[in-house]
Amino acid sequence: MTSSSTLRRAVVIPALLALSLAGASSALAAEPTTATATRSVVVAGTGTLAAHGSGVARIGGSYVLVGSMDGGSITIVGATAFTTIRVTGWASKSRLADGTLIFRGVHGTYFIAGRTIRTRIESTKMRFVATGHGRVLLRGRGEYWVNGHGPFPWSTLGVEPAF
State the pTM of this model: 0.73
Bridging pattern class, strands 84-87 and 92-95: unpaired
pLDDT digits (tens, 9 = 90+) for 2-59: 554 544 444 444 443 443 333 333 333 444 444 443 346 788 889 999 999 999 999 9
Query: In the chain, where are the structural domains located?
Result: 4-153
Q: Which pLDDT belongs to residue 128?
A: 97
Residue 148 DSSP code: T
pLDDT, tens digit, for every residue of 115-153?
A: 999 999 999 999 999 999 999 999 999 999 999 998 999
Give 3-state DSSP helix, strand, coil % of the chain, rounded to 5: 15, 60, 30
60 vs 9, more confident: 60
